[in-house]
Structure 1
Amino acid sequence: MRVFVTGASGWVGTPTVAALLAAGHDVTGLARSDQSAAKVEAAGAKVLRGTIEDYDLLAEAAAAAEGVIHTAFIHDFAKFAENCAIDGKAIAAMVDALSGTGKPFIATSGTGVLQTSELATEEMMAPEDTGFPRISEKATFAGLNKNVRAMIVRLPPTTHGRGDHGFTPWLINIAREKGHAAYVGDGGNCWAAGHRFDAAKVFALALEKGKAGDRFHAVAETGIAMRDLAAAIGKGLGVPVKSIPAEEAKAYYGMFTHFAMMNSRASSALTRDKLGWEPVEKTLLSDLAEDYYFTA
């Protein structure tokens, strides 16, 4: 299958391209820079130069492909709402280009968009009108009325592995700066977790086996308690671990407070059943036992 992948040199996009190529697909990856292009080309994929703000280019690439996987996102949290709007426009451009074809389109979301303290499952729809600006699911599933095989893969709060630059390294950097690793209260709030290589296989399997309207969770671990995550960080840095009251959370976590205090457990039972997917990579705490997470 001819597959167009955005974010092809990114954290999840890179192993997704590798998984697609290993399965025999012909992959073209979007690359915004010379460095990204070289990375995509070295993986064995074709390169299309551009960005996710090149909406006409995205539409042309989607129309020429037999399937599209959208993993790109501008990770600048200072402009989060603006970047979510760009993401929505990029998705709309590609979905419209696939209208009437029945071709697969897979976009990326997160289990956190469900905004529930309960166990998040694939059956749950992302709530609307909550003020949260991430609209990837709404934009993607607009394709269901246009004969597009639209699907979503939700990533957990921490999609980890060597070279991680996501939420877990943020916590590590905060603990390094403050001189201790903290958790709020009893530290019982949890993050679901999954390895980037396992997540990539979900995208590849969804392309081949997923049906219109499917939502998949690239979740290997339902929930890691924040106190256990803090303990692993403290051990890795060689700093104390302690509980802090909720009123001190803002002073410790800063702009990361919301994420550090959220309870985001998620199941992948339906994903495993529908796709035959089984995660095989390291757990989050096993990954944190490696030196590479703590090399400054």
Structure 2
Amino acid sequence: MRIFITGASGYVGGVVTEHLVRAGHEVVALARSDRARERVEALGAKAAPGGLRDLDVLRAAAAGADAVVHTAVDYFDAAMGDIERDALRSMLDGLHEGAAFVYTSTGLVYPDTQGVTVDEEHPVDPGSPQPFKIHGERQVLDAGHVAGTVIRAGLVHGRGGSGLLQGMLASARQQGMVAYIGEGTNEWSSVHVDDLAALYASVLGQGSPGTVVNAAAPERTPMRRIVEAVAATAGARAVSVTPEQAVELMGPAAAVLTRSAPLDSGKARRLFRWNPTSPSLLDDLTSGSYAPAAA
């Protein structure tokens, strides 16, 4: 299969590209810089020069593909919603009838259920911290001529990556402490990046048009234990702060870090025979890819 992927020079997209190349697919990867081109070519993909704003490049690359995998995102770009809308339109317009499109979403599209597990039938939250992901899902699923699949991932970890975990570790090393909010009992779902990439490969290999699947390992991890593991790895202290103190320390991120909407991934297991086997989040933090010996 000829696959066009965005975000291949990034964290999740790079591992997905690696898995797709290993499975024997011909992968063409969007690359907006020389460094990105070198990265994707090292993974075994062919580079397509351009970025998400290069709509003609996106349309042409999609037109030459059997499937598109969209993993590129910049959460710090205030215009990301508009950029993604236009990029998705171009790629969907380019794809031929019956081609596949795998869209990368997040468990943050669900509301805070205060610990109640959510499956794919649970309504999404219009007030999500990442509302453009909800709009992106709809764009892909409403495109009637393609076989669209949406993957809603938990906290992605593994291979020493993840913006959230790297940020927490860096802050802990710099400040000598890392905070959880209140008692820190709110539980999060997580998924190892290699397990997540394996799900992408399975979706493309089997297909299931119009499907939304959650992607998370079975474990539910309290935020306090995540913070304690980060602290132990960074040689720092884990401390509790009040919600008010958290807002002062973390700004808008404080509201995200108190959420708890664990993901039920049974649908991915049933449809795609997906079976996460990689180390858990806590094991990865304390003795795996984030541990000092593995750095």
TM-score (normalizing by structure 1): 0.90
1:241 aligned residue: 238
Tell me, in whole angstroms, the C-alpha distance in 1 between the residues paired with 2:5 and 2:120: 23
Which residue of 268, 281, 285 corresponds with 1:284? 281
2:50 aligned residue: 50
Q: Secondary structure at the match of 1:243?
A: strand
Deviation at 1:241, TM superposition (A): 2.3
Q: Deviations over 1:210-245 (max 9, x none)?
A: 311111222114421011111112212233323222
1:113 aligned residue: 109
Q: Secondary structure at the match of 1:289?
A: helix
Q: Deviations over 1:140-179 (max 9, x none)?
A: 1121xx22101111121x2111231411222223333443
Amino acid at match of 2:101: F
Which residue of 190, 197, 200 corresponds with 2:197? 200
Amino acid at match of 1:43: L
Which residue of 98, 103, 106 corresponds with 1:102? 98
Amino acid at match of 1:98: L
CA RMSD of aligned residues (A): 2.1
Q: How does 1:174-213 map to 2 (within 5 A)?
A: 174-213=171-210
Tell me, in whole angstroms, the C-alpha distance in 1 between the residues paired with 2:85 and 2:123: 17
**Segments of 4+ moved more than 6 angstroms:** none
Q: Which moved more, 1:113-122 or 1:128-137?
A: 128-137
Contact 2:176 2:235 in 1 (8 A): no
Deviation at 1:53, TM superposition (A): 0.9
Whether 1:275 and 2:268 are equivalent positions in the alignment is no
2:6 aligned residue: 6
Which residue of 147, 150, 166 corresponds with 2:148? 150
Amino acid at match of 1:153: I
Contact 2:112 2:259 in 1 (8 A): no
Amino acid at match of 1:283: S
1:170 aligned residue: 167
2:124 aligned residue: 126
Q: Deviations over 1:173-194 (max 9, x none)?
A: 3333443232112211122111
Tell me, in whole angstroms, the C-alpha distance in 2 between the residues paired with 1:149 and 1:183: 41
TM-score (normalizing by structure 2): 0.90
Q: Secondary structure at the match of 1:12?
A: helix
1:160 aligned residue: 157
Q: Deviations over 1:32-51 (max 9, x none)?
A: 11111112112222111110
- Number of residue pairs matched by the alignment: 289
Tell me, in whole angstroms, the C-alpha distance in 2 between the residues paired with 1:249 and 1:88: 33
Q: Secondary structure at the match of 1:266?
A: coil
Deviation at 1:125, TM superposition (A): 4.8
Instruction: List runs of 5+ in structure 2 lacking aligned partners.
Output: none
2:19 aligned residue: 19
Deviation at 1:3, TM superposition (A): 0.8
Of all paired residues, the percent bearing the same amino acid is 33
Q: Secondary structure at the match of 1:277?
A: coil
Contact 1:108 1:136 in 2 (8 A): no
Contact 1:107 1:140 in 2 (8 A): yes
Amino acid at match of 1:115: P
Shift of the 40–223 alpha-carbon distance from structure 1 to 2, 3 Å rule, reads same
1:64 aligned residue: 64
Amino acid at match of 1:50: G
Tell me, in whole angstroms, the C-alpha distance in 1 between the residues paired with 2:193 and 2:71: 12
